[in-house]
Structure 1
Amino acid sequence: MTSPSSSNVPDHKPRPWVDLLVSIIIPSVILMKFSGDEYLGNVNALVIGLAFPLGWGLFELIRYHKKNFIAVLGLISVGLTGGIGLLELDAGWLAIKEAAIPAIIGLAVLVSTRTKYPLVRTLLYNPSVLDVAKIQRSLEEHRRVDEFEERLRKASYFFAGTFLFSSIMNYILAKWIVVSPSGTQAFNEELGQMTLVSYPMIAIPSMVMMMLIFYYLWRTIRRLTGFTLDEVMAPHLAEKEKAKATESTTRK
């Protein structure tokens, strides 16, 4: 039976364009264009600019109960960025912070491979995406469980590698772009520029690598079980696909 609290939580639908607008574009424009004394000023522009991704992240956590390790690290990252600017710490700390967050996640992925709950299983091989129970039964029937676990471990190493890439690129980007003293208009403008540049230079390549890892995992499942993607989709996703197909047929 579903608890009242869980039944009141609305379904969370991915909104990548809204995420991009609120977390990247608006803060960047505020920092680059409104940090001057004739507008918001250095401190106000920094606080308001960082308030958008911080507020959006908190909204997602509270509204949809999306409490996960990466979301919390994201909120910490935004808070640290604001602290460096408001406390006027050396800009070098920004580069360290930018590298540290993905490095911590990557390390957590590696450590998790030695536990019963590797993060790659939680994030990519989970019941919300795939029919894990069905896949597991087939693996056991074909006696391929050990081989699959070895492939899952390799996927974890690849997964950790994406965060290592992000860590290195974040550090290089921060050292290259943010060179002015923190607490100044120039610092805010450079911070906004770094935020904009980081999306095409880091976020998109990381997303592509994540998709390749999922494809590697899917190809492994396909080879070891013989199932097609439609056959191992999570039941709720399969039902949605059927509903869409039925609706499309009805319209025709």
Structure 2
Amino acid sequence: MNEALRDTPQHKPRPMVDLLVSIVIPSVILMKLSGEAHFGPHQALVLALAFPLGWGLFELIRYRKYNFIAVLGVISVFLTGGIGLLELDPQWLAIKEATVPGVIGLAVLFSTRTRYPLIRTLLYNEKVLNVHRVDERLQERGLREVFEQRLLKATYFLAGTFFFSSIMNYLVAKWIVVSPAGTEAFNAELGRMTLVSYPMIAIPSMIMMMAILFYLWRTIHGLTGLKMEEIMAVNPADKR
């Protein structure tokens, strides 16, 4: 069993590669190569979406990250391609852009009623925090119920970040993408929307996510007395 675990590559965040493959390259293709002198609107759209789609599938298969959000990301790329290739009204793109983070936000809220709240998958997990040690200390001090209440509060904050993304995605898409799907102008606007979305939506959402993580750390520190290095997850390589 240990050998099987070792054979599975450990996922390491590569933000620059993610940025290049999912945003920069597709945007350049859409804005610069959609003319009839190059690939044309349909072919350029397929090529542009092939990068984030291929990268998403690669991560899902290689690192076995078959989680709800990763799968939803792949579905999102398929929907964007469908809207462009079927030449649907651009308003469907705005609806799709709002729906994906909106669904995640609703799933986060719904998960609080299940045994597996999504905040544990996204933030309160062994890859981010030393969950075993934290749980042990909470049990010793009899503060488990208090912590669960704080964790529920953090869950509401987390859902709020996705609802923020949903609203901003819709507004940005309606503002930028106004040309008929299947045209060179539509592709160029889709490329601009992708570039604009990163600083306007992704970065603020990331900051909010970091604020939630800080809230969790402060809560854990206050309830358990553990220091930062005791709370954060330990890299297996550091134990050697």
TM-score, normalised with respect to structure 2: 0.97
Following the alignment from structure 2 to structure 1, what is the Cα–Cα distance between the partners of residues 119 and 222? 19
Alpha-carbon distance in 1 for matches of 2:144, 2:234 = 22
Unaligned runs of 5+ in 2: none
Contact 2:217 2:231 in 1 (8 A): no
**AA of the residue aligned to 2:216:** L
Deviations, residues 107-126 of structure 1 (Å, cap 9, x unaligned) = 00000111121110121111
Q: Name the CA distance, whole Å, in 1 between partners of 2:63 and 2:141.
A: 39
Runs of 5+ in structure 1 lacking a partner?
A: 244-252
**1:68-79 counterparts in 2 under 5 A?**
68-79=67-78
User: In the aligned structure 1, how far is the partner of 2:85 from the partner of 2:64?
Assistant: 30
2:28 corresponds to: 29
Specify the SS of the correspondent of 1:115: coil
Which of the two has higher C-alpha Rg?
Answer: 1
Tell me the amino acid that sits aligned with residue 20 of structure 2: L
Instruction: Quote the sequence identity (%).
Output: 68
Amino acid at match of 2:50: A
Please give the alpha-carbon distance, in whole angstroms, between the structure 2 residues aligned to 1:96 and 1:47: 20
Q: Which residue of 2 aligns with 1:130?
A: 129
For residues 193-227 of structure 1, give each alpha carbon's deviation from its aligned partner in whole angstroms, at most 9, with x where no partner exists. Answer: 00000000000000000000000000000000000
Aligned to 2:2: 2
Secondary structure of 2:113's partner? coil
What whole-Å deviation, never above 9, does each CA across 1:151-170 have from its counterpart, x for those lacking one? Answer: 00000000000000000000
How far apart in 2 are the matches of 1:121 and 1:14?
A: 18
Q: Residue in 2 aligned with 1:168?
A: 167
TM-score (norm 1): 0.92
Q: 2:47 maps to which residue?
A: 48
Question: Cα RMSD (Å) of the superposition?
Answer: 1.3
Q: State the Cα distance separating 1:231 from its structure 2 match.
A: 1.2
Which aligned pairs between 1:204-219 and structure 2 lie closer than 5 A? 204-219=203-218
Cα offset, 1:2, TM superposition:
2.0
Give how far 1:22 is off: 0.4
Give the C-alpha shift of residue 97 in structure 1: 0.3
SS of aligned partner of 1:169: helix
Matched with 1:247 is none
